[in-house]
């Protein structure tokens, strides 16, 4: 198996630092060098032939790599040419550089597994370098052969978080995913003492996840979220394969049985709530909505003629429809009249519209002011946007709703832990209790997997006959 010697990695790292490449960018330059040598090895090209640099860049263009990345790759390969040029061997300031014209044979830049066997050809450059450099006298910042310091800890992760944010937005993941993944990335950064991103390895991940499980005692679901966040970080920001992470201590995930309210308890809680929170809570229970789905409803989501409520961009960006409860139709229509009146007043006051997601506002200039896109549960006050000096309308805030529920539960003297999601659990359990098909409940809840819906079978008493009987006795 072929691999690049650690000596070549160190020489190139020191050389590019001398040439002004920031220390936090060295890992990316090493990555491009590896890709270039792999490219030449695959197609039988000479590594030091500048025409092959052009071929390499054309290959990157064909793979839809951005212009900034192609420029970085061009610079990395150019520095490699400069480093290996015989005429610069004595002037570059790196002693004992023995890279000669034999470098035209790509195999000369690799070695077989006779030594340093812990660095394989499948190991990313940054990871290979980290294996050796982190053990250098135990000093986070060690001197290179040229005397330049290569920083291992206390590195700047600003670019990492920018790339993470862009990678999540490109995939249209929810803001909650961005918030959660960024939080885990920051915890990982702190755990590694802001280790140079190019030197991060799966060993760091293993230590971090084990630390979370043993020292921090976090739940199994939080461990899984941390694992997924770091997996995304490695693949889409560090451009490294995660590989196998064996031997991690994992907390066992216990079966979760949700808290369910009786119909009487639901009515009592809603009875102690004020408008519009009472109407929101009625929809949470009556339609089995998540609180984020309910508060994000817009006027266009309601089809009173057909008696259907459409939920757009639910969890996992899935759409679904649910029936509008007949008992709520009059209240919902009365509420809609108030929304229309508020919208008309906002237009007279010259507001800038509601908040819209995505590029809808760029596509339709006046979309934010159209009635159909107004929030069905608007906030009382307009929100000021300092960056654009605009006044926009947001929806009722989730925190306000949760506080209203807690107050009502306290007044109703319900001895259960009740949150907004409890009404969704109660919706599913009561349908199951009424002998509705599990697949129907799955569709109404918007679950991708019926196994998620099956958890509600534990909240309802079994109606099967316990005493065994023969069919002849039926």
Beta bridge partners of 308: 303, 323
For the chain of 474 residues, list the mean pLDDT of each consecutive stretch of 10.
Answer: 67 84 81 85 80 87 84 89 62 40 52 39 37 37 43 76 89 83 92 85 86 83 89 88 66 78 96 97 96 95 96 79 96 97 94 82 83 95 85 92 96 95 95 91 91 86 58 60
Asked if 76 and 33 touch (Cβ cutoff 8 Å), the reply is yes
User: Would you call 456 a catalytic residue per the annotation?
Assistant: yes
315 is catalytic: yes
Q: What are phi and psi of 341, to 5 degrees?
A: -65, -40
Q: What is the pLDDT of residue 296?
A: 93
DSSP 447-462: -SSHHHHGGGGGSS--
Check: CB of residue 185 under 8 Å from CB of residue 177.
no
224 alpha carbon, distance to own chain's centre = 12
Q: What are the beta bridge partners of residue 385?
A: 390
- Residue 196 pLDDT: 84
Q: Is the pTM of this model over 0.85?
A: no
Q: What is the dihedral of CA 166, 170, 173, 176, to 10 degrees?
A: 20
Q: Known catalytic residue: 290?
A: yes
HSE-up of residue 65 (Cα within 13 Å, Cβ side): 17
**75 carries an active-site annotation:** no
> Domain 158-236 falls in which CATH fold?
DNA polymerase; domain 1 (1.10.150)
pLDDT of residue 398: 92
Residue 31 designated active-site? no
234 vs 346: CA distance, rounded Å: 46
Name residue 323's beta-bridge partners. Answer: 308
Q: Which two tokens stand for residue 104?
A: 């035209």
The answer to whether 4 touches 128, Cβ cutoff 8 Å, is: yes
Q: Which CATH number fits domain 283-429: 1.10.443, 1.10.3470, 1.10.287, 1.10.1740?
A: 1.10.443
pLDDT attached to residue 298: 96
**pLDDT of the residue at 249:** 61
> CA-to-CA distance for 336 and 377, rounded, in angstroms?
9
Domain spans in the chain, listed from the N-terminal domain onward: 6-137, 158-236, 283-429
- Active-site residue, selected from the candidate residues 19, 70, 315, 407: 315
For residue 342, the model assigns a pLDDT of 96
Beta-bridged to residue 321, according to DSSP, are 310
Residue with tokens 């009487």: 264
Catalytic residue (choose from 290, 298, 343, 392): 290
Out of 335, 392, 424, 430, the active site residue is 424
> Residue 122: left (phi > 0), alpha (psi -120 to 50), or beta?
alpha
What residues contact 298, with CB distance under 8 A and at least 6 apart? 372, 373, 374, 375, 376
395 catalytic per annotation: no
Helix or strand holding residue 320 (H, E): strand 320-323
8 Å CB contact between 371 and 378: no
Q: What is the pLDDT, as a whole number, of residue 116?
A: 39
Residue 119 has, within 13 A of its CA and on its CB side, a CA count of 21
Residue 59 has what pLDDT?
87
What pLDDT does residue 314 have? 65
* Nearest-angstrom CA–CA distance, 445 and 264: 22
Give yes or no for a contact between 112 and 2, defined as CB atoms under 8 angstroms apart.
Answer: yes
């Amino acid at each position: 198996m072929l691999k690049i010697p650690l000596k070549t990695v160190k020489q190139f790292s020191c050389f590019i630092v001398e040439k002004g490449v920031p220390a936090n960018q060295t890992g990316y330059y090493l990555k491009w060098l590896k890709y270039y040598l792999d490219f030449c090895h695959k197609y039988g090209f000479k590594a030091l032939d500048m025409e092959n640099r052009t071929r390499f860049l054309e290959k990157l263009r064909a793979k839809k790599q951005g212009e900034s990345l192609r420029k970085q790759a061009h610079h990395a390969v150019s520095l490699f040419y400069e480093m290996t040029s015989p005429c610069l061997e004595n002037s570059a300031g790196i002693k004992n550089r023995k890279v000669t014209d034999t470098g035209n044979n790509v195999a000369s830049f690799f070695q077989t597994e006779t030594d340093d066997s812990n660095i394989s050809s499948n190991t990313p450059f940054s990871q290979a370098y980290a294996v050796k450099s982190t053990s250098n006298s135990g000093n986070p910042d060690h001197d290179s052969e040229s005397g330049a310091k290569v920083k291992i800890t206390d590195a700047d992760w600003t670019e990492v978080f920018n790339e993470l944010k862009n990678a999540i937005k490109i995939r249209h993941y929810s803001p909650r995913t961005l918030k959660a993944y960024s939080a885990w990335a920051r915890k990982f950064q702190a755990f590694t003492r802001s280790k140079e991103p190019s030197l991060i390895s799966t060993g760091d991940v293993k230590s971090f996840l084990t630390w979370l499980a043993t020292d921090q005692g976090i739940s199994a679901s939080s461990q899984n979220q941390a694992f997924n966040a770091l997996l995304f970080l490695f693949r889409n920001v560090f451009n490294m394969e995660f590989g196998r992470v064996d031997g991690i201590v994992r907390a066992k995930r216990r079966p979760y049985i949700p808290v369910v309210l009786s119909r009487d308890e639901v009515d009592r809680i809603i009875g102690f709530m004020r408008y519009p929170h009472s109407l929101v809570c009625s929809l949470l229970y009556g339609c089995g909505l998540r609180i984020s789905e309910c508060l994000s409803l817009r006027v266009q989501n309601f089809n009173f003629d057909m008696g259907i409520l459409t939920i757009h961009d639910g969890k996992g960006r899935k759409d679904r429809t649910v029936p509008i409860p007949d008992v709520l139709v009059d209240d919902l229509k009365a509420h809609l009249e108030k929304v229309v009146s508020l919208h008309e007043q906002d237009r007279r006051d010259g507001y800038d519209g509601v908040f819209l997601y995505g590029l809808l506002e760029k596509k339709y200039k006046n979309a934010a002011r159209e009635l159909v896109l107004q929030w069905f549960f608007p906030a009382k006050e307009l929100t000021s946007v300092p960056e654009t000096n605009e006044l926009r309308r947001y929806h009722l805030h989730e925190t306000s709703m949760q506080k209203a529920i807690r107050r009502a539960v306290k007044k109703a003297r319900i001895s259960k832990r009740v949150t907004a999601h409890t009404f969704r659990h109660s919706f599913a359990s009561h349908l199951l209790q009424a002998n509705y098909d599990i697949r129907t409940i799955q569709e109404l809840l918007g679950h991708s997997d019926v196994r998620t819906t099956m958890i509600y079978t534990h909240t309802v008493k079994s109606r099967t006959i316990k005493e065994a009987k023969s069919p002849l006795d039926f």
